Structure 1
Amino acid sequence: MDSHEEQCLPILDFSRDKLVRGTSHWITTRDNVRRAMEEQGWFVAEFNGVSCDLRDKLLAGMKEMYDLPDQIKIKNENHKASHGYMSMVVDDYRIHESLGIDFATELQACKDFCKLLWPQGNDPFCQTTHMYATAMAELDQTVMRMLFESYGMDEKKHSASHSESTRYLLRMLSYRRQQNGEANTGFVSHTDKSFMSILHQNHVGGLQLKTMTGQWVGFNPSPTRFVVLSGMGLTAWSNDRIKACYHKVVMSADEIRYSLGFFSFHKGTIRTPEELVDDQHPLRYSPFEHDGLLRFYESYLNSLKKSSEDLLQIYCGVNP
């Protein structure tokens, strides 16, 4: 990564021992979170909530998981878009695979996932995925507390409501370059349909993020760095103050890139808080069911064979 790219990366310190409410570090980080989200829809969190040992165990478990026969992995079914098993094959060569654990912060969901893939169960992997999801939920909820505070909202009230109404999806992904040695550009630029997303990975690069000036910045992997992205849910909630982040994966390395995506979804209806509607910011979106947006996205994609940059506006936008 060159110096220009380094300057484009907003890296914020989310060390547990430093993030004490009311301190200067909390206030500065809180304000920088809002600024980064409003200006480009993402930032990088330096977070020590996942130990190197936990990360290594999870990556090792993922490799074991991907070595399972296809007929086992496809059992990871889910009717929600991009929640279950997915793969991409080019010229009989698999360049992408992913599996997902819905409600990953619930231990039983992790147990059910492992029981599905390993009939005898896999308690170590179950514990690892659950511990990881719990740490990611902590980071997600800290970011939301900062946004509530920054927008002058009742933080305690909104944090409790947000926590109760959020479900989390943990997706485990693998990427490789194309068989002919060319860089894999099959993973097109997109925005997430989640409320918010947190990305983490092994040492193999490939993730690119779009800046506010329209430039693509390569992310330099680190065990303690997590990319926090805004999704369409956060765009609607913030009344267009925060735009969903465009990102993509371009694989040029010979090694497999293992990545973890942690996605938050609202269990019910997403509404723009009244505190975020005023004369300068008239209401942009009608209340909508988050899972309904996923269903609409899937039907839209299937009917037109392509996604739309205006998907959220088409689904629930308020006409001026």
Structure 2
Amino acid sequence: MATKFKSILPVIDISSFPQDFDAQELNQLQYHPVLAKLRKACKEWGFFQLVNHGIPVDLLETAENVCRDVLSLPTEVKDRASTGNALGTYYRSPNFERFRLPDSINPASVEQMCSKIYPEGNPIFCETMEKYALSVSNLEKNVTKLILASLGLDPNAFYNSCFERCTSILRINGYSSENLSIGEEALGSHTDLNCLTILYQDDVGGLQIRSQEGEWFNVKPLSHSFVINVGDSIKAWSNGRYRSAEHRVVYKGWRDRMSIGFFTSFPEEEEIWAPVELVDDGNPRRYKAFIYSHFKKEVLGDKENKEKATALERFAGV
């Protein structure tokens, strides 16, 4: 019997929410429709689609075009941007490949990546990716603050003390139709280990999310939107208030898929521990304190356990 899929991921428009506000206004803003919808989305899905985010449409369209150009390059050319580390900067399988910018997203790091792929120079690619990386980095900061505010926390204080030192990775993801059959998994089921993921995807589709009830749902591509998801690190840091959902990519069967992922993570030696403001009698502490690099090493290095979607539960309990 064929599996039926639905598309009901929350869509959040942040254009009506004030970009700057004082901590004194937080109690009033808790009832703002944007925060209320964001809170519900993070609790129930751990995913949402972001529209009217402020990043120009022409920049998004140009970024998609230049990234497709990169993915069409010969393998030996793309290998210039590779360190050969399957779990790090670069990975290729017969139907999935990714590129990563250096952990510090800035003009110098983008230029370094550009020069490796295009040593003869490609100003359109370099300038576009520099603008894209910095624009999405600013968006991530705003979204993280919105998430903190939705938890009832002072967004500026907690961002500065807990999230300002996060590292960032930008990846160009390509899913080739050459080696895939319709309905086949192009990227297997997993949760993200990091804090927050901001994904720009083309109109091909194929991204699916598993609900709390265990059903798979399609994420219908919305033009010029971003798909944003909470990772295991935020789930632990929020004391389990927000969800890190299992997701995958399934081949849709009409052309290659392309996406650009922006991933933020705690520093390698950061201790992840829910703040006392998120722990009370109704929400007792759910996770032991753990070092982010130890968590990554245990999960990514565990060849026996393939259930990465439940990896965080190994750290449950106090």
- On whether the aligned pair clears a TM of 0.5, the verdict is yes
Matches within 5 A, 1:9-48: 9-15=9-15, 18-20=17-19, 21=21, 27-48=32-53
| Partner Cα separation in structure 2 for residue 176 and residue 255 of structure 1 | 8
Q: Is 1:167 aligned to 2:167, yes or no?
A: yes
Within 2, Cα distance between the matches of 1:133 and 1:258?
A: 17
Give matches, 1:1-320, under 5 Å: 5-6=6-7, 8-15=8-15, 18-20=17-19, 21=21, 27-77=32-82, 82-89=87-94, 95-103=95-103, 105-177=105-177, 179=179, 181-267=181-267, 268-300=270-302, 303-304=303-304, 306-314=306-314, 316-319=315-318
- The range that moved more, 28-37 or 60-69, is 60-69
Q: Deviations over 1:220-255 (max 9, x none)?
A: 212322111111111110111112111111112221
Quote the Cα distance in structure 1 between the aligned partners of 2:99 and 2:253.
22
CA distance in 2, matches of 1:257, 1:88: 14
Give the 3 Å change call, closer, same or farther, for CA 52–209 of structure 1 in structure 2.
Answer: same
| Distance in 1, Cα, partners of 2:291 & 2:83 | 18
Paired with 2:99 and 2:235, the residues of 1 have a C-alpha distance of 26
Query: Is 1:49–1:135's contact at 8 Å kept on the other side of the alignment?
Result: no
RMSD: 2.6
Q: Distance in 1 between matches of 2:177 and 2:84?
A: 29
**Equivalent position SS for 1:74:** helix
* Unmatched runs of 5 consecutive residues or more in structure 1: 90-94
**Native 8 Å contact 1:175 1:256 kept in 2:** yes
User: Residues 72-97 of structure 1: CA distance to partner in whole angstroms, max 9, x if unpaired?
Assistant: 323434588744221222xxxxx221
Mapped contact 2:180–2:186 kept (Cα < 8 A): no
Task: Report if the CA contact (8 A) 2:230-2:244 is conserved.
Answer: yes
Paired residues of 2:163 and 2:266 also in contact (CA < 8 A): no
Distance 1:152 1:180 in 2: 45
8 Å CA contact retained: 2:195, 2:231: yes
TM-score, normalised via structure 2 length: 0.86
Flag structure 2 segments of 5+ consecutive residues without an equivalent: none
Q: Give secondary structure in 2 for the equivalent of 1:102.
A: coil
Of stretches 51-60 and 75-84 in structure 1, the one that deviates more from structure 2 is: 75-84
C-alpha contact 1:111 1:126 (8 A) present in aligned 2: yes
Task: Calculate the TM-score normalised by the size of structure 1.
Answer: 0.85
Q: Would you say how many aligned residue pairs link Structure 1 and Structure 2?
A: 306
The AA in structure 2 aligned to 1:67 is S
